[in-house]
Amino acid sequence: MLLFRMTAFLMLALPIHAFSQSVVSASETAKPGFERTAKMHATGTFQVSVKPAEASEIGKAAGLGRMTIDKVWSGGIEGTSKGEMTTSAVGSAMAYVALETMNVKIDGKSGTFVFSHKATMDSTDPKTGVMDIAVLPNTGTGELKGIEGSLQITIDKSGHSYDFTYTLPAK
């Protein structure tokens, strides 16, 4: 039942709204002289496969679900990502948290980093849905070292699309 309700949350409720995220970047609290690039946007689409996975004994006892995430990104972000999601549904309250490792090129720059996801919704009112997806600080590697940003996902009849707002350290 939990899997069905979380799938409904992810596939039915989320498409209704594009969620806005906010994140306080390290650059906003950085020491003077620490320069970052202007905010940039990478947009495009992704294909996603979300599959149920066995929860730990503690997760099962708590009524939590576990899923794997496997995505292929195209557009301003090119590459793949893999992650894990923990889900909860109690009455009409639903939520998930996830970590997703990106192995990508963004506007031609290669590297890896981790997205941190958090989403909540009351299933009786999809307008209550809130989703925050942000780069986990200090996880960037390669040409993406120092990356900061937030991701907005839109799900509609044509599939999944994204708008990634990000900055990198200035050279």
What is the pLDDT, as a whole number, of residue 25?
42
State the DSSP H helix or E strand holding residue 59, giving kind and residue range, or none if neither: helix 57-61
Say if residues 90 and 111 touch (Cβ distance below 8 Å).
no
Confidence of residue 145 (pLDDT cuts 50, 70, 90): very high
% the chain with pLDDT above 90: 74
Confidence of residue 10 (pLDDT cuts 50, 70, 90): low
- What structural domains and CATH numbers belong to the chain? 2-167 (2.40.350.10)
Q: What is the mean pLDDT of residues 131-148?
A: 97
Reply yes or no on whether the pLDDT at 130 is more than 60: yes
Q: Which residue has the higher pLDDT, 7 or 21?
A: 7
Q: Which residue has the higher pLDDT, 7 or 127?
A: 127
Residues 77-121 pLDDT 10s: 999 999 999 999 999 999 999 999 999 999 899 999 999 999 999
What is the pLDDT, as a whole number, of residue 33?
56
Say if residues 71 and 50 touch (Cβ distance below 8 Å).
no
pTM score, whole prediction: 0.82
Per-chain mean pLDDT for the chain: 86
Reply yes or no on whether the pLDDT at 7 is more than 60: no
Reply yes or no on whether the pLDDT at 137 is more than 70: yes
What is the pLDDT, as a whole number, of residue 12?
42
